[in-house]
Amino acid sequence: MSHLLEVDKVSKTFGGVAANSDISFNVHQGEILGLIGPNGAGKTSLFNSISGEVEPDSGEIRLDGVRISGRGPVVCARLGIARTFQVVRSFDSMTVLENVMVGAFARTNSPGKAMKKAESVLDFAGLSGRVDTPAHLLSPPEKRRLEVARALATEPRILLLDEMLTGLTPTEAQAGVQLIRDVRASGVTIIMVEHVMEVLLPLIDRAVVLHLGKVLTEGLPTEVVRHPDVIRAYLGDRYAAA
């Protein structure tokens, strides 16, 4: 069976530091894949390679068998990769609706169609009451939703979520989880980076654990957290035996 996304021996170094070395894993259609690992494990670097923001030094990333690595973010977005950012990036001189319209213009030239698309996506993301609000006035969780809505407006096949739930209160995080579930139910495959394990583990179908730029292990979330190497990576050698 062919996979939706194949990450094939991807390596990337920044000034002598290996952010990613020889990373390989596959993403299945319709799943929620969690990318976990301690700080500096190379999760965001990998996101940047998948979304086309940076070009891997070696290796290849394929979407439906077509190489997307090294072809730039615009091509990746056109082919169906959308993302959110670890530090929220909203277009602050625009309203919420206008922000999302920028995304919708990835698929249409018509302002009317872009507006309709943006409105329906905002409705989906639970922001329909904030359509005309300037983006910079949104609360942090609303800004996260805006980023998701904007990404969805590009009609992606895969959505990359970079720490979307980090820094939210438990209630806000639960609302975020529900949104992610809804996105998946709409047929979009999700890869997410997250630190908040107790929120992440019940949500994801599979986990890939990165450590020091390498894949430590992958598997079901319940399995990987019991894996001795994972415990060692997070907590140190003393806890691995426990």
Partner 1 sequence: MAGSILGHNSIQRRRRLELIVGLIVLAGLCLLPLVVKDVYTQNLIILTILYAGLAQAWNILGGYCGQVSLGHALYFGIGAYVSTMLYVKLGIPPTLGMFAGGLVGGLFALLVGWPCFRLSGHYYAIATVVVGEIGYLLFLNWDFIGGASGINIPFKHESLVELQFRVTKVPWLYLVIAYAGLAWIIAWIIEGSRWGYSWRAVKDDVTAARSLAVRVFPSKMAAAAISGCLTGIGGAIFAQFVGYIDPDSIMSGNLSILIALPAVLGGVGTLWGPLVGSALLIPLKELSSSYLGSSGSGLDLMIYGALIVLIALARPQGLISLLGLFRKPEGAR
CB 215 within 8 A of CB 199: no
Q: Using CB under 8 A, which of 102, 175, 197, 231 touches partner 1?
A: 102
CB 47 within 8 A of CB 193: yes
Q: Which is nearer to partner 1, 7 or 118 (CB)?
A: 118
Q: Which is nearer to partner 1, 111 or 228 (CB)?
A: 111
92, with CB counted inside 10 A (0-12, 13-18, 19+), is exposed
To the nearest whole angstrom, how small is the minimum distance from the Cβ of residue 57 to partner 1? 21
Q: Distance of CA 201 to CAs 117, 197, 214, 219, 222, Å?
A: 32, 6, 21, 12, 7
**Which region, judged by CB under 8 A, interacts with partner 1, from 11-19, 98-106, 168-176, 213-221?**
98-106
Residue 124 makes contact with partner 1 by CB under 8 A: no
To the nearest whole angstrom, how small is the minimum distance from the Cβ of residue 146 to partner 1? 11
Q: Where are the beta strands (DSSP E) in the chain?
A: 5-14, 17-27, 32-36, 58-63, 66-67, 81-83, 158-162, 189-193, 206-211, 214-219
Q: Using CB under 8 A, which of 83, 143, 206, 211 touches partner 1?
A: 83
**Which residues of the chain form contacts with partner 1 (CB under 8 A)?**
51, 53, 72-74, 77-78, 82-83, 85, 89-95, 97-98, 101-103, 105-106, 109, 111, 114-115, 119, 128-134, 137-138, 150-151, 153-154
